[in-house]
Structure 1
Amino acid sequence: MANASAPVSSTATSGDDHAGIIAREERAAIAAIRGALEAIGVDPGAKPLDLRALPFEGAWGSASAICRLLAGELVNRELATAGELDGLSKKQAKGRVNELVGPRAQELAEQVAAAMTLASRFASVEAVNGYINITYNANTVAAGLLAEVFAQGDKYGWAPAGSQTERVMIEHSQLNTHKAAHVGHLRNICLGVAVTNISEAAGYPTMPVNYIGDIGRHVIRCLWCYRNFHLGEEPQGDAPKGRWLGDIYAEADARLNFRKDVLAFLHLTIQEDLVFVAAVDRMLRFLWRTNTVDGEDIAYLLGRISGQQEVDIAELRDENVVVAFWPMIGDQLRDEVVLA
């Protein structure tokens, strides 16, 4: 049994008046487990009788570990009564108890499952590795749910405001601040508003939130493109500034992806085209003579390409050296095709 979801506890304080039919089914399972334990003479005392969802695909039900929790105490008491722990150290006594906890938990779970099965409320009750696995009767629950919906009509699911003590925060949408909302954003807006309305209708104090000022990589990209290529071109008057920012964002994305594509193509070329590698010295000398290019960048490119190693744009003093080098790469490749 895995921890598939948050547990449902017998100590929950929410009243049954506004509990959903599924929550009531889970509480019935807790009551049935407690009743079965008492029927076989075992008092769970103050131990938490929690449920977790069954982690099996296609199964709707809950699992309880109460028998595993109780088994340790029962085994310890039984061994002490029989005198089997006399003369043992704490470590030895613990080891002896642990040897018997698993089988005792399974035995106890089987007794509880048998008692619960007699009640016939649940689709199945099984004892597995000391856990009690309860499968709910979907048909019975569905019939009860439909009956409630038809009986309550428009009032179904509603609860007085503030009747639930837990406060709920629902975060949704997260629109990009530098480009227009698309259909995916609209879908999330609709879902977020719907879930918020449902939560409020169920009586929960609800706070919908959206990090409108969230600043991340999209903002950095947009600012980079604006400062380098569109500084001072802001729309005037009533011109739509949002669309203008969106266009700059799209351009920034295209420019950055283009640089990545260029470097990827350059790396592939120097790995597979030895003629290109042999010509790189001539190409870079021509680039240095005809352009205002930093000599260290020329040396870096020469060393990396001659050694058939990948070029890292972060190592360049001026990223635009690749832009200036790109037409020469094309000329060289065209010459190679002609000479082939």
Structure 2
Amino acid sequence: MKPIGRCRAHTNIALIKYWGKRNEELFLPMNSSLSLTLDAFYTDTSVTLDDTLSSDIFYLDDVLQGDKETLKITNFLNLFRTAANIETKCLVKSYNHVPTAAGLASSASAFSALAGAMNEATGLNLDLKTLSTFARQGSGSATRSIYGGLVEWHMGEDDISESSYAIPVDDATWDIGMIVIAVNTGQKKLSSRVGMKQTIETSPFYSSWVETATSDLTKMKDAIKEKDFITLGELTESNGMKMHATMLGAFPPISYWEPDSVKAIQAVKEIRETGIPCYVTMDAGPNVKVLCRQSDMKQIEEKLLNQFKPEQVIPTKVGSGIKVLSDSQWNY
């Protein structure tokens, strides 16, 4: 019987952002970050080790992927093959329950699920902290999707790969939720990797971004300890807007925003002015995420539906960490 591993991983949205690598090959970030794992968006992935294969085969949502997409997967699988001292090729089947490359962290769930499935298939049995260092080398934010709740990604030291990993900070079960306003779920024109590199190389605001992100993280961890939702939200909104300001300062300027992004931000601010605490954040894409109390989600959702279609307003609870799936749980 061929060794097989199956795993589910959820996306995460950074509250304190990661934007920029100091080492592109090892995916080592310029600053530490902190995220919230989301229940509504996830990826299920299976990996079968097959001695009869001469090369890796990759299916995404039952569509056979081309050489370019498969090569990226092969390079990632090689991390595990090297650790397990094997050369066996793999059949990878991945199912994305999140729009791909739309700024909704699909790569985070994708590579975290792939890491978990490969860990299971090879029998490496890596602990979660070590597994997060592997996931990081597929997609930086994937390191955080190994865990549920609020998760910190340590930037690490120098160019030491093992020093940059994720750890769980808090289970976030104290009335925290998020609403995604899906402005545009199509594939973005400028990838995060290209955007990051351009920002680092040309934006005069970038060094200040890194410095303030570090202090923002310290303040946010204090807020989490105190279960201070207001401070958590204010820091989330401020940090996200500062990240986008660094992009606008790049040459040429970078903006992932669309008119409906601005419309969504304004709508959230108007809701907040009515006395409901809710705060926006955005990643490298036009979609707006609203950090709020779970107990307020229904009320906020109803107000947003005055301006957006039902399919655009997606409420989500806090997500869990990676989960190995049994045969009976694999529904594909």
Task: Compare the two structures and name the one with the higher helix fraction.
Answer: 1
| Structure of higher CA gyration radius | 1
Q: Please, what TM-score do these two structures have when normalized by structure 1? A: 0.21
Q: Please, what TM-score do these two structures have when normalized by structure 2? A: 0.21
